[in-house]
Structure 1
Amino acid sequence: MERIERIEAELFTDGGNNAVVRLPGRRFPGVLVQGDSLHILRTDAAELVDACERGDLADARDGAGLLLAGLDALLDRYAAALAEHEMPRPY
């Protein structure tokens, strides 16, 4: 079992379900996604794959829309946090 290492990190947003955090040694922050939120994104992706396998384009489109909306929300929060702290985006 790996040991847990305690570090100091920079918090760019409130904690919430998807905090923007910069770890030591990193130039840009990342997004810390809570396990339940990560599971929701994974479930959305799995439903999209299932719909594609069934050939159900309507369900696939809906599933892709849900997945895209979730990822867009994460990316929007990330971009807003960087802008608020006058940091360029890494992309």
Structure 2
Amino acid sequence: MERVEVELLTDAGNNAVERLPGRRFPGLLIQGDSLSILRGDAAEVVEAFDQGDVDAARETAGLLLADIDALLTRYSAALDAHEIARPY
């Protein structure tokens, strides 16, 4: 294990925006339980499609998209607050 100092651009909550040494752009640290939830939601979309339940797939995909949009909004807000250009 290597210990490094990172630049913390948001609070250290469940999805902190931070920049590692030597990196131009910050990243988003997602806690393992939160990542597992996102993965579970994606798996639900696939399962619903496999079962032919397009309505359920669409609903779950919409929720998943909203969760990812919230992460991207937090990331973008942190970059804006620190006057860092977006990598996209």
TM range, normalised to the smaller chain?
over 0.9
TM-fit CA distance, 1:63: 1.0
The whole-number CA distance in structure 2 between the counterparts of 1:14 and 1:57 is 38
The whole-number CA distance in structure 1 between the counterparts of 2:85 and 2:24 is 11
The whole-number CA distance in structure 1 between the counterparts of 2:6 and 2:58 is 38
Match of 1:36?
33
TM-score for both structures, normalised by structure 1: 0.95
Uncovered stretches (5+) of structure 2, i.e. residues with no partner? none
Match of 2:53?
56
Match of 2:24?
27
Residue 72 in structure 1 maps to residue 69 in structure 2: yes
**Runs of 4+ with >4 A deviation:** none
Cα RMSD (Å): 0.5
Count residues with an aligned counterpart: 88
TM-fit CA distance, 1:66: 1.2
Uncovered stretches (5+) of structure 1, i.e. residues with no partner? none
1:12-42 C-alpha deviation (Å, 9 max, x unpaired)? 0001000001001100000000001001100
1:31-63 C-alpha deviation (Å, 9 max, x unpaired)? 000001001100000000000101101100111
SS in 2 for 1:25: coil
- The one-letter code sitting in structure 2 at the alignment partner of 1:80 is A
Match of 1:87?
84
- The one-letter code sitting in structure 1 at the alignment partner of 2:79 is L
TM-score for both structures, normalised by structure 2: 0.98
